[in-house]
Structures are given as C-alpha cells and as structure tokens.
Amino acid sequence: MDKKVNFTEDFFDILIKNEVVMEAAPLDEQQEYIQPDDDFDFHAYRILLLIRICGIINEPFFSKSTIYGRGKFSFFDFLIRYPFYLKRVIDIEKKTKLLDDLKLKSFESERALSPMIKYIRGPWDHRYDAILNYMVSKGLIRVEFNNFNKNKKAMCLTLTKLGSKISEQIIEEEPVWVDRMEIINAIFPKNSTNERINDYIRKHFPSLMLGIEGE
C-alpha cells in the first residue's frame, strides 16, 4: 500500500482514538466572508453616491440626479475605484490645487482596489449588469436608454426617491469619496457627453481600451 495512504489513515486513526473534535460554530451562527468586490451592496453604496455627486438634473428629461452615458459612468466609477488614475488626470490637466482634496493613501497608489476589464471604449466591470439590476430591484435607481437632451439618447442611471434619500446619508459618511467625486466635477463638466469622455480616454489612456496597447 502506498506510504501516503498509510500516513493518511494513521492520521485519522489518531484523531478518532483521541476523540478530537473540530471546533465549528453552529450553522445558524456561521458567517460567510464576502470579498468587498463581490459584495453588490458595496458597489451599490459607491454608485449611489457617484450618481448623486456627479449626476445632473436636467428637466424635463430627468428631475433627479442622473448620469447619462455608459462609458462616462464606467470611467467616472473607474477613477473612484482606481484613485491613482484620478491623480494622473489631475496631473494631465495641470490642476495641482485639486491634489489637496484627493487625499491619496500610499496603498492606493500601488495597486487597484478591484479588477476592471478593458472594453471597446474604456474600462468596464463585467458585473455591472448584475449590480445595476440589483440596484433596480431594490428601488434605488432607474436604468433607461432615454433622451438626455432633445436630440440625443444614452443609457441613463437615475436615482429614485429612495436612492436620493440614501445617497444623502452616504454623503455624511464618505467625505473622502465626496471630495474625489467633486474633483471629477471640477475636471469634467456634468453635462459632458459620452463622446467627449471616450475621446479623453483614447487620447490620454489608450491602454484602457480594448485592442489598443501602450499609453
């Protein structure tokens, strides 16, 4: 018989003879650890704040905070999740006064918080569809392909009444995120189009686009 098998059997025989019991909490008390990046509530929390701070109210098209444009939304979220890229944007725009509000921590300049993939026009998280559907199911946002002015349509992420209420509470809890989102507003006007953001990524961060190498 294989020595490895003998060792394994002897090991379990010793455990049985000594009545060794593995300690474990009852099933109803056990908690499963979820990585923050796999937690939809974590993403919803951040996205609600992003729509509230970087969104725009543009009646009669939408009366509550809205971010319109698929690429615009994902790039803004990318800058919050990867704040060292936001620092690069500040450097590109030569708006050094904004660095004081960035409050970039050392670990945030070394690695990304979570993975996002290259997409045709920039970064995109493959879980966005599920995350946004989750937020819609909770009554926090509306997601529609709709007009954002008289002539153009785009994917629109709009806060509901409940989403607006919760986002106001998050403002009080996350001053660093708020400051960073206001930096985005200081660089990119709230009425920036998807096309403008795509052009900006293509010009300054081509490596974030699928099929384009280098920067």
Average confidence score pLDDT of the chain: 85
Q: How confident is the model at residue 215 (pLDDT cuts 50, 70, 90)?
A: very low
More confident residue, 203 or 119: 203
C-alpha distances out from residue 59 to 3, 147, 150, Å: 77, 11, 11
Which residues lie closer than 8 Å to 56 by C-beta, 6 or more apart?
A: 65, 66, 67, 68, 190, 191
Sequence ranges of the domains in the chain: 34-208
Indicate whether 192 pLDDT > 90. Answer: yes
| Sign of the alpha-carbon torsion through 113, 208, 101, 52 | negative
**8 Å CB contact between 139 and 120:** no
Q: What is the mean pLDDT of residues 58-71?
A: 92
According to the 3-state scheme, what is the secondary structure of 154-176? EEEEEECHHHHHHHHHHHHHCHH
What is the reported pLDDT for 207?
Answer: 85
Phi, psi dihedrals of residue 155, rounded to the nearest 5°: -70, 125
Q: What is the pLDDT of residues 123-142, one digit of tens each?
A: 888 899 999 999 999 999 99
Q: At what angle do helices 83-93 and 194-204 cross, to 10 degrees?
A: 90
Indicate whether 87 pLDDT > 80. Answer: yes
Q: Kindly compute the dihedral angle of the four CA atoms of residues 87, 89, 92, 98, in this order, to the nearest 10 degrees.
A: -60
The token pair that represents 97 in the structure block? 């006064």
**8 Å CB contact between 198 and 100:** no
What is the reported pLDDT for 213?
Answer: 46
What pTM did the predictor assign?
0.79
Q: What is the pLDDT of residues 92-125, one digit of tens each?
A: 999 999 999 998 887 777 655 456 766 666 788 8
Q: What is the pLDDT of residues 2-55, one digit of tens each?
A: 555 566 667 667 767 776 555 655 656 655 555 666 788 999 999 999 999 999
Q: How confident is the model at residue 214 (pLDDT cuts 50, 70, 90)?
A: very low
Q: Kindly compute the dihedral angle of the four CA atoms of residues 57, 62, 63, 67, in this order, to the nearest 10 degrees.
A: -40
